[in-house]
Amino acid sequence: MALQFGKKYSEKAKPSYIYSIFGVALVLFMLGLLGIVVLNAKKLSDYFKENVEFSLILMDTCSPEQAANIKKTLDGNPHVKSSELVSKDEALKRFKKNFQEDFVELIEYNPLYASVNFHLNSDYAHTDSIKKIEAQFLATRQVKELYYQHSLVETMNQNAKKISIIILVIALVLFFIAIALIDNTIKLVMYSNRFLIKSMQLVGATRWFISKPFIVRSFVNGLLSSILAIILLAVLGFYANQLIPELSSLIQPTDIALLFFIVIFIGVAISTWSTYRSVTKYLKLKLDELY
C-alpha cells in the first residue's frame, strides 16, 4: 500500500515540486542580492570616502627636497592611505590633457602650483581629522593651502549613518518577506498532498514514516533551489565584474563564500521546517477538515 501511495504521490507531485524549486530559487536569488548589498554597504561607503582627493598646494618657494619631505611626512601619518607628489610641470601636463588647452603660450609662464595629493583612510575621512592635517601643514611656510571638496566630504559623512540604518531596516523587512514567500510556496505544495498524508495515517503508518519522505524531498529540493540561486548570482556577478571591474576590489571571496553558505542554509532550513510543519498540521486535522 505504501508503495502504491509513493508512486501516485511521485507522479502527481513532481510538477508541483518543480515549480516550487524554481519559485524558491528566485526568492533565494533576490535574498542573495540583498545579502550582497548588506555585506558590502560599508565597503562601498569606505570606497567613496577613500577616493576623495585632498591636495596640499605648495608655495612656489618650496624646493623639490622640501616637497619630498612633506610627502614623506604625509606617508607616515596613519590617517593617510596614499599620496602623490605633483610638480608644476606635471600639473600643467594634466591640465592640458583634461581641458585640451595651452594657456602658457598666452601668458608665457606656468601659474599652476606644485602639490601633494593624498587620500585618507575611510575611518579618518571626516572634518576633525582633516582639520588636524590642515593645521599641521599650514603651520609650515611651504604649504599655501589644503584644497578639497568641503561639501562632498560633509555630505558623505552626514548621509553614511542614515543610509546604513535605512539599508539595515529594508534588509530585515525583505528578509522576513522572503522567508514568508518560501514558507507559503512550500505550504502550497504540501496542500496538494494533504489527502495522501491523511490516507497514509488512516492505514496505520506512523508519523515519522509519513513525514520522512516529505522531509527528505524538501531537503533535496531546498538544496537544488539554493544551488540554482547561487548559479544565478554567480552569472550576474561575472557580468557585473565585466561591466564594472572595480567591483572585484569591493567583494571579497570570503564574503561570497559566507553569502553562498547563508543562501544554502536558508533554502534547506526553511524548506525542511515548512514541510515538517505542514505534515504535522495535516496529521492533526480530521478528515472532514481537509476539504
The model's pLDDT over 225-264, given as tens digits with 9 standing for 90+, comes to 999 999 999 998 888 878 877 666 667 788 888 889 999 9
Average pLDDT over residues 271-275: 87
C-alpha dihedral (114, 119, 125, 127), degrees to nearest 10: 0
Q: What is the separation of C-alpha 165 from the centre of its chain, rounded to a whole number of angstroms?
A: 15
CATH architecture for the domain at 53-148: 2-Layer Sandwich (3.30)
Give mean pLDDT, residues 23-40: 85
* Banded model confidence at residue 1, pLDDT cuts 50, 70, 90: very low
Per-residue model confidence as pLDDT tens digits over 92-132: 787 777 766 666 566 666 677 888 899 998 888 877 788 88
**pLDDT, position 230:** 93
Q: Answer yes or no: pTM beyond 0.75.
A: no
Q: What is the pLDDT of residue 164?
A: 76
Task: Provide the pLDDT for residue 231.
Answer: 94
Contacting residues for 160 by C-beta, under 8 A, at least 6 apart? 45, 49
Q: What is the pLDDT of residue 182?
A: 80
Secondary structure, 3-state, the chain: CHHHHHHHHHHHHHHHHHHHHHHHHHHHHHHHHHHHHHHHHHHHHHHHHHCCCEEEEECCCCCHHHHHHHHHHHHCCCCEEEEEEECHHHHHHHHHHHHCCCCHHHHCCCCCCCEEEEEECHHHCCHHHHHHHHHHHHCCCCEEEEECCHHHHHHHHHHHHHHHHHHHHHHHHHHHHHHHHHHHHHHHHHHCCHHHHHHHHHCCCCHHHHHHHHHHHHHHHHHHHHHHHHHHHHHHHHHHHHHCCCHHHHCCHHHHHHHHHHHHHHHHHHHHHHHHHHHHHHHHCCHHHHC
Q: Can you tell me the distance from the alpha carbon of 45 to that of 250, in angstroms, rounded to the nearest whole number?
A: 10
- List the domain boundaries for the chain: 2-48+159-290, 53-148
pLDDT at 226: 92
